[in-house]
Structure 1
Amino acid sequence: MIKQLSRVARKGSLLSWSLIAFVLILCAETSVFAQDMDLPSLISEALNNNPELAAGQARVTSARHRIPQSKALPDPTISAGYTNVGSSYYTFGKYDDALWAFGVSQTVPFPGKLIQKGKVAEKEMETLGLQFHALRLATAARVKELYYDLFAAHRTMEILADKAKLLDQVEKAALARYASGMGDQRDAIMAQTEKYMLLEKMEMIRQRLSTLEGMLNAILGRDVKSPLGKPGEPSKTLYKRSLDDLLVKASFDSPETKARMKKVEKAQAKVSQAKAEFVPDVTLSAGYAQKGYRATQEPYVATGAGPDGGDVTGSPGYRQRWIDMWSASVSMTVPIFFFVKQAEGLKESRSDLAESQYDLEAGKNMIASSIRENYSMLQSAERLSELFVSGTLPKSRQDFQLVMAGYAAGKGDIYAVVSRLKNVLDYEVQYWAQLAEKQKAVARLEALAGITDGLTLPKPMEDAKSGRKDAMAEEQHANSNMK
């Protein structure tokens, strides 16, 4: 019996040291972190360094540069031509009708067409700006979600470490009962089995921690292996906003809803643009031509005298004259195929308008549904957290202490102790998980409703107004690189 007891004790001691070593390794890895994570700083870092946000900003800038292009006139056309007369050789200046001609023409769209094109481009830029704003809010919400997931994982690891200490006490009590002849060897083996299961759970939580840290680093724009600190404890105060307040807030400030509204305005501008296509465009042309011809014949006087003593006319000579010619013309397009071109384009734009209007209504319903769902999750998390604090946790701890005291005194069995211990630790894990879920629901709600409390997010319209400055800065930077 003593040999069996010593063998069980050695196994338990080895397992305990393994468990302690595992926890120490985890603590050593955690100690390399600089300090606890600060959530506002993480959000600010993500908004400044996230590559997806940088791509969204580039899309807005690209759309901003399309606005002046859409308002610009078509490029003018210049032409040059030569008309030859007679033989195949160059006859300019030798025949009256040989000439050089130069011209320039400019197409001028009917007044209003360029204005409508500019409006379409502006609405496109504003839509992308609001989508970018929504992406920033979603990124901030995602940082919060990962932050609180990391908190729950870290707290679960701490709870499991506490469970390891309690299992040591249970194992010692089982060995003491076995040594006194009041217990069974299976009690100590069961306690050791629970330790093995605990090691497995801790390894799974450790893997989850690594995954969450990699995801958070990716959003922050860091290397995925960059060390992170330990998250702070979430707030336990009740959420103040009501469901009705959130729904009203979302109807006015939700960037997703605003982006869909801008899509409707863009579609309306496209309808106006399609109507303007029924009106012809005008092309103004001007030209200049020049031709030369042989003027009056001038006699040529010879140096000697003729047989009768008079002057002799020699070979004829010619004097060249040049004529400048100017031309101007006006032409216009004739949309005679409007029934297969302009009319179909108008129908297409009206269909796009109907689609954007339906998409706006669907988006409003989707956002309202998501707000209601997350608000329900928030309320449920608050109620469960209060239930854990007020009843479940203290009662389960008290029940475990009573059963453990009885087992140490030789009463009861190991199964009751282990089951009570599992209940205590499971309830603690669930309590902190509910607090994390509450904060995650709050983050999603505020992103959906467009709430920017505590976030340094510039308004999308301010981004649009600063477009010229950005363009000038980009141009100066490009010029400096060329130099």
Structure 2
Amino acid sequence: MKFISVFAALVSLCFTVSAMAEQPTDPPLLAELLTSAEQNNPTLHAAQEQVGIAAARIDQVSALPDPQLSISLLNYPTNNLRNDTSPMTGNDFKLSQMLPFPGKLATRGNLAQQQKLWTQAKYADLVLQIRQQVRDHWYQLSFQKQAIILTQANIALLDDVIRLTETRYQVGKGLQQNVLKAQVERSLLYDRLLGLQADAEISQAQLVSLTGGSPELVQKKIPVAAKIAVIPTLNNLMQQARDNRPLFAAFDALITQEKQRIKLAKLDYRPDINLWASYRFRSDTLADGGDDSISAGFSINLPFPVAKRRAALSEAESALRLAYRQRDEFSRQVDFELHRNLARLQQAQKLINLYSNGVIPQAEQTYHATMAAYRVDKVDFLALTDSLMTLYRYRIDQTRAQSDAHRSLARLRATAGLDQSTSAKFQQLKKDGPHA
């Protein structure tokens, strides 16, 4: 049985290492932006402060209440306010300490510890989401810049067509409407170019906002997205998500926290004890010699009425059931997101292969053949512009598919928790807890 457990652990480790090894290497500029986002993103800074707040609460809730010191002037006669006329007169110094029922302080500390683990895991998961957003805008910007280059190149080709058409018109071999048609197509392309440039500016601004970097950094040349070599399987991704996604650990901490809350609600039925001791100073000139006196005692709170404690216990039990349901819903949502984005990635890869190996080479051959035929009056102008614009649209679609593939892969990495930058933090989180 022990051998089987060890073997299963080794297999799981191999899958983890394999999955991490299959992750593509980020381009240097993207890696720089990701690092900048982790260091400068204000949302991450706020989440980090929440972790500090939760950690600071542990010592507060697990500490004993402050001891109480009281000073009393007892039984002074109202006619003279002297301390040497009545044997009951004295000055009382009293020290008291409230001791919660055994287990209450430890439970409060455990509850606060789980709250800290919850905020730590949420912070680690937020890092994943911020990195995914950076990658998403990066590959969106990559598409926009490549589309700008393609559009500018197509405008240049269309300018050649316009010059050719004008020449043919001047020598009486072309029609004026062909020249006008070509100029309209150029204007439409230029309008699309302006839209792409505006979209690229917006994507750059979003990257600056996410990373806190300088605008000059995101304006650098972005390389063409590399080909995705390996597509992970759905079952492997689902297992990796449960092993590596920080929010699964966060929900474990939340469930443990609610269990501790139930335990605390049950302990609230038990009374706390208040210990006290006092020393009374009396005047030496009293008739009885004015001997000092000491007193000691204790008091307990009576846990009545029980209705509010019963309601608190019911609330804690409902919160635990809610935590389980939230974890189950999160698990289903993760599986759905993995399935959806894997399907999108596979579809994008199929489109890339289709455009690269079939559609675009055929469209290029069609355009070159149509251009040659147009020069010798074998085809009309509409066929030429149609072949040119068709080739342009296919190249744009191929570039968009490449961008969509990387954006889907980025979502898969974030959803499954496969991010080398946060893995060390997450492993430390799992080492710390949670503990039931």
Same fold, TM-score > 0.5, yes or no: yes
Kindly tell me: are residues 242 and 178 of structure 1, through their superposed partners in 2, closer, same or farther at Cα, counting changes over 3 Å? same
Pairing 1:56-71 to 2, within 5 Å after superposition: 56-71=47-62
5+ residue gaps, structure 2, are 1-26
> Is the 2:86–2:286 Cα contact (8 Å) retained in structure 1?
no
1:461 offset after TM fit, Å? 6.1
Q: String of CA shifts for 1:185-230, please: whole Å, max 9, x gaps.
A: 1111111111111221111111101100000000111356875212
> Is the 2:345–2:408 Cα contact (8 Å) retained in structure 1?
yes
1:37 offset after TM fit, Å? 6.4
5+ residue gaps, structure 1, are 1-35, 297-319, 467-483
Match of 2:302 in 1: 334
What SS does the corresponding residue of 2:292 show, helix, strand or coil? Answer: strand
> Aligned partners of 2:78, 2:145: CA distance in 1, in Å?
97
Pairing 1:6-405 to 2, within 5 Å after superposition: 38-222=29-213, 228-292=219-283, 294=285, 321-338=289-306, 340-405=307-372
Match of 1:480 in 2: none
1:293 offset after TM fit, Å? 5.7
What SS does the corresponding residue of 1:335 show, helix, strand or coil? Answer: coil
* Higher mean C-alpha deviation, range 75-84 or range 110-119: 75-84
Match of 2:400 in 1: 433
- Between Structure 1 and Structure 2, the one with more strand by share is 1
- Between Structure 1 and Structure 2, the one with more helix by share is 2
Q: String of CA shifts for 1:338-384, please: whole Å, max 9, x gaps.
A: 1x111111100000000001111000000000000000000000000
> Aligned partners of 1:206, 1:295: CA distance in 2, in Å?
99
1:456 offset after TM fit, Å? 5.8
Q: Structure 1 stretches (4+) deviating beyond 6 angstroms?
A: 463-466
What SS does the corresponding residue of 1:278 show, helix, strand or coil? Answer: coil
Is 2:410 the counterpart of 1:419?
no
What SS does the corresponding residue of 1:232 show, helix, strand or coil? Answer: coil
Letter in 2 for 1:101: D
Q: String of CA shifts for 1:73-129, please: whole Å, max 9, x gaps.
A: 111111111123433432112322211101011110011011111111011100110
> Is the 1:116–1:273 Cα contact (8 Å) retained in structure 2?
yes
> Aligned partners of 1:390, 1:149: CA distance in 2, in Å?
24
What SS does the corresponding residue of 1:379 show, helix, strand or coil? Answer: helix
Instruction: Indicate the RMSD between aligned Cα atoms, in angstroms.
Output: 1.9
Letter in 1 for 2:178: D
> Is the 1:106–1:283 Cα contact (8 Å) retained in structure 2?
yes
Letter in 2 for 1:421: L
> Is the 2:67–2:98 Cα contact (8 Å) retained in structure 1?
yes
What SS does the corresponding residue of 2:84 show, helix, strand or coil? Answer: coil
Count of residues in Structure 1 that have an aligned counterpart in Structure 2: 406
Letter in 2 for 1:220: T
Q: TM-score, normalised by structure 1?
A: 0.81
What SS does the corresponding residue of 2:70 show, helix, strand or coil? Answer: strand
1:321 offset after TM fit, Å? 3.9
> Aligned partners of 1:457, 1:214: CA distance in 2, in Å?
29
What SS does the corresponding residue of 2:80 show, helix, strand or coil? Answer: coil
What SS does the corresponding residue of 1:241 show, helix, strand or coil? Answer: coil
> Is the 2:359–2:394 Cα contact (8 Å) retained in structure 1?
yes
* Higher mean C-alpha deviation, range 443-452 or range 36-45: 36-45
Q: String of CA shifts for 1:236-258, please: whole Å, max 9, x gaps.
A: 13324211100111122211222
> Is the 1:70–1:117 Cα contact (8 Å) retained in structure 2?
yes
Match of 1:9 in 2: none
What SS does the corresponding residue of 1:326 show, helix, strand or coil? Answer: strand
Letter in 2 for 1:170: V
Q: TM-score, normalised by structure 2?
A: 0.89
Match of 2:19 in 1: none
> Is the 1:45–1:220 Cα contact (8 Å) retained in structure 2?
yes
> Is the 2:244–2:423 Cα contact (8 Å) retained in structure 1?
no
> Aligned partners of 1:402, 1:285: CA distance in 2, in Å?
103
> Aligned partners of 2:169, 2:329: CA distance in 1, in Å?
69
Letter in 2 for 1:53: L
* Higher mean C-alpha deviation, range 407-416 or range 202-211: 407-416
What SS does the corresponding residue of 2:424 show, helix, strand or coil? Answer: coil
> Is the 2:87–2:290 Cα contact (8 Å) retained in structure 1?
no
